[in-house]
A and B are shown apart, each in its own frame.
Chain A
């Protein structure tokens, strides 16, 4: 099995996001970075598939030079090959992102044969565009399901499950296919010390790409006003219960 996982480096933002002076970006100077959460699960899923079936897990990221850290994190939990599409740090729009990923996939596949499975996160934690997986799949002419929280990889097909209005719906896709997964599909493992050591020695295949303005022009970012400021304390311990029940009655929650 040849599995490709596409991941994005995102900031770990706190309770209140701080913006840069021009209001066009998040001020990340005080922040750490991580792999976007759905994509951590995509890596874990790929590693499990290859542990069972044999094969290679390739992890690809489009991001600034520092995103090499996230590729090494992926390697430390079992990714075998690392691919870095190096950007200048500006966000790429979803069409350009999908295009860059597709170009890379075509290069890899021309050299090494097709990826049986391409995994992405359902949406990046920061921009939340919900579409790169579909665009990649469509450009490659491969079937795709998004929002997947359970995946069973067979010989020639994958069965993907996603939540739908209180139940689950199932999709069966012929491989090669593209699946965008969500947190909950698995619980990602923690890296081992030998995994870390191995990751630090691993080569990263780098290609530098030039940013292009997309069709959506960012004017400014802003932090929304929160609907609540500070809770009114009803009381401490069981003494507060009567006041709480009064509120529940007032709101019609307790008839």
Chain B
């Protein structure tokens, strides 16, 4: 794509993902990031999603400052197919003369953007925190390394810039003014090769709160002592409508499945409250919960690393404190305020 093509209609194209509840949180963060980037070069914000833009989704796009929303129709396939999605986005971005293509830092976001990078021989920069255009073909950006324990400031040359947005480093923020969003369709006819990889089956796990989306997470570490020791934590999580998260030591010991692991190599969480029980606070664990709004740790060791990354701490044994906490919450919920 030549510069002459992109300059007249420069825009930031943002891939948006959705689920049954609407546009997912990572995509809202990506839209916020993309809007900020667009403002640095007076570029319009355009969103694209595979499927139909429902009325609530349209309202969300408008509130995030999206002028145009594209419904991508990948002919002949309903399932997620990364290369077909990538080619569809690429074709749309070329027809729009997009100067930047952005996606949330989800598995799919990173995957689709990596394919766009591979098919165009362009760099793709993952887990960005902010970016702005410094010149016609130069982007200044900050991105996470070491799962956010380190930040890299870098300069990217060339158009279009392909960026994904850090899940836990950018806030989802609607625009200061709502705009009117025009919905358009964009059809893409994939080749057979584009469909070599696609989802063949989806298995719902059912029940419980998904860890990545949970507003409250009850965490358990080595200090819980055993697989059986998680009984009171499960009960507490049930009472609070929380998900249970665990440290790497717990999954390595086989007490809990890896799907519950919080950390750099597990799930990165962003809850309102993280109640970390018997977790010392290894770097790789802390990288997974840095963006929690409130952090409380329960630990026998007042010098554990977690105490320098928490808002509040209770010093003591998890096996004693959690059952007492469960009882106290039950009592408050039933209106009993305790002995006078």
Contacts and interface: CB of A to CB of B under 8 A. Distances in A.
A254 B146 contact: no
B249 interface: no
B300 to A, nearest CB: 10
A219 B124 contact: no
A217 B154 contact: yes
Contacts of B261: 183-184
Interface stretch (B27-35, B52-60, B173-181, B288-296): B288-296
B228 interface: no
Contact of A168 (B157, B202, B315, B338): B202
A221 B150 contact: yes
Contacts of B284: 37
A94 interface: yes
Interface string B147-187: 11111111111100000100000000000000000000000
16 contacts: A94-B123, A131-B126, A135-B117, A139-B118, A162-B107, A170-B199, A184-B258, A184-B266, A216-B125, A218-B153, A221-B145, A230-B307, A233-B302, A234-B313, A240-B316, A253-B273
Interface string B246-261: 0000011010011101
Most buried by A among B113, B210, B258, B314: B314
A184 B119 CA distance: 30
B158 to A, nearest CB: 6
A70 B282 CA distance: 23
B309 interface: yes
A218 B154 contact: yes
Contacts of B83: 138
Interface in B267-323: 272-273, 281, 283-284, 286, 290, 294-297, 302, 305-317, 320-321
In the A-B complex, the 4 residue pairs with the closest CB atoms:
A184-B258, A131-B114, A138-B118, A134-B114
A164 B204 CA distance: 9
Given A37-B265, A169-B201, A245 B313 contact: no
Given A173-B196, A215-B158, 19 more contacts: A15-B305, A37-B264, A38-B265, A128-B147, A131-B117, A135-B118, A138-B115, A143-B196, A146-B107, A164-B107, A167-B204, A167-B206, A183-B266, A184-B257, A184-B266, A223-B149, A227-B290, A231-B307, A242-B338
Interface residues of B, number: 98
Given A220-B153, A228-B308, A234-B313, A95 B146 contact: no
Most buried by B among A221, A228, A249: A228
A233 to B, nearest CB: 5
Interface in B119-151: 119, 121-127, 140, 144-151
Contacts of B316: 236-238, 240
Given A128-B127, A144-B197, A223-B150, A13 B329 contact: no
Interface of A: 13-15, 17, 26, 37-38, 93-95, 123, 125-131, 133-135, 137-139, 143-147, 149, 162-174, 182-184, 187, 214-224, 226-238, 240-242, 244-245, 247-249, 251, 253-255
Chain A interface, >50% SS class: mixed
B310 A128 contact: no
Nearest to A134: B114
Most buried by A among B114, B125, B294, B311: B114
Contacts, number: 259
B110 interface: yes
Nearest to B290: A227
A95 B122 CA distance: 8
Contacts of A128: 126-127, 144-147
Given A130-B164, A245-B332, A149 B145 contact: no
Nearest to A186: B258
B188 interface: no
A129 B313 CA distance: 35
Nearest to A147: B107
Given A17-B146, A232-B313, A184 B259 contact: yes
Contacts of A233: 302, 312-315
Contacts of A234: 296, 312-314
A76 B317 CA distance: 39
A218 to B, nearest CB: 5
Contact of B283 (A14, A165, A231): A14
Contact of B328 (A130, A135, A229, A245): A245
B150 A163 contact: no
